[in-house]
Structure 1
Amino acid sequence: MHLKTYLRIVRASAWYDLIVTIGFATPWSFALVHQSLSQLNSGLGIAGEFPAFAAAHVLMANLLGSIVTIWAILRLRDTRMEYGRYDAAGRVLFSMWQLYAVAHGASQIILAFTVFEIAFGILQLLPISHKDNKR
């Protein structure tokens, strides 16, 4: 893969992260995201649940949303091959924890996110042509 193509993938993964996780960044926006996912889950009759969150759970969701939002903005402002490699490692971890959560009763809606984690993770681990690698 050419470096230019690779950097487009890194930017696309950053946009995906920004769109999907910014709602987790504050207690108020997370309440709306959680409510929407819960309604979608029950409306579609999907296995698993989105249980009510206590304050400590909301804090963890907000920390996730905050750091992933900042990480996404960094990759959009300064897109680098190295960031794509680190992001791929994070996506491997996120995928494992999402699969673990679903295996232990979390909503199967999470698997839709897992597909993107795995896809972007694989794409960002692909080899890059060194002949055009200037960054």
Structure 2
Amino acid sequence: MISQPRYLQLVRLSAWYDLFVTAGFATPWTFALIHGALAALAHGSGLPGSLPSFEPAHVLMANLLGSVVVVWSLLRLHATQALYGRYDALARFLFAAWQLYAVAHGATWLILGFTAAELAFGVAQLLPLRNQSGVPRVDPIPNKC
């Protein structure tokens, strides 16, 4: 169980992590630099799997992902809420699932480092909250948009 203030710190920390890790994916130019560095690291690490060259459509997908994650990170930093942490946990489990799928189909095992971070933040953001009196809090996700 985690206190509300501590939980909100965790939500902000996960947002900073996302911003740091994905900001470079948001533009074709920065993505080219990151892709080159990751490809060299994957090749030099001796780990199984590969990081292939990207075609323009692949770069577009990476840029869209980077752009959305940057905006999502900025929202969590600017308007931190427990509800955002719950949604972020869901997104992290989805990301981890697709990363594991990619590795199982030949992608570089370097991805597993990111998968570990996704799972750690996802689990942490699902911890039950307690209010100031120490009583567990129920935070249902509202079904209104």
How far the C-alpha of 1:33 sits from its partner, in A, is: 0.4
Equivalent in the alignment of 1:116:
117
Aligned residue identity for 1:30:
F
Task: Give the corresponding residue for 1:7.
Answer: 8
Alpha-carbon distance between aligned partners in 2 of 1:25 and 1:46, rounded to the nearest angstrom: 27
Post-superposition CA distance 1:72-114 (Å, at most 9, x none):
0110111100000000000010000000000000000000000
DSSP-derived class of the 1:48 partner? coil
1:47-66 mapped onto 2 (5 Å cutoff): 47-66=48-67
Q: C-alpha displacement at 1:43, in angstroms? A: 1.1
Question: CA offsets, 1:34-81, max 9 Å, x none?
Answer: 000000011111111110001110000000000000100110111100
Which has more helix, going by share of residues? 1
How many pairs align?
134
Measured in 1, the distance between the counterparts of 2:41 and 2:132 equals 47
Separation in 1 of the partners of 2:36 and 2:47? 15
Higher fraction of strand: 2
* Equivalent AA in structure 2 for residue 123 of structure 1: A
What is the CA RMSD across the aligned residues, in angstroms? 1.3
Q: One-letter code of the match for 1:116? A: A
The alpha-carbon deviation at position 130 of structure 1 amounts to 3.2
Q: TM-score, normalised by structure 2?
A: 0.89
| Uncovered stretches (5+) of structure 2, i.e. residues with no partner | 138-145
Aligned to 1:46: 47
TM-score by length of 1: 0.96
Q: Percent identity?
A: 58
Bigger Rg, which one: 2
Q: What is the CA distance between 1:24 and its match in structure 2?
A: 0.3
**Amino acid across the alignment from 2:48:** A
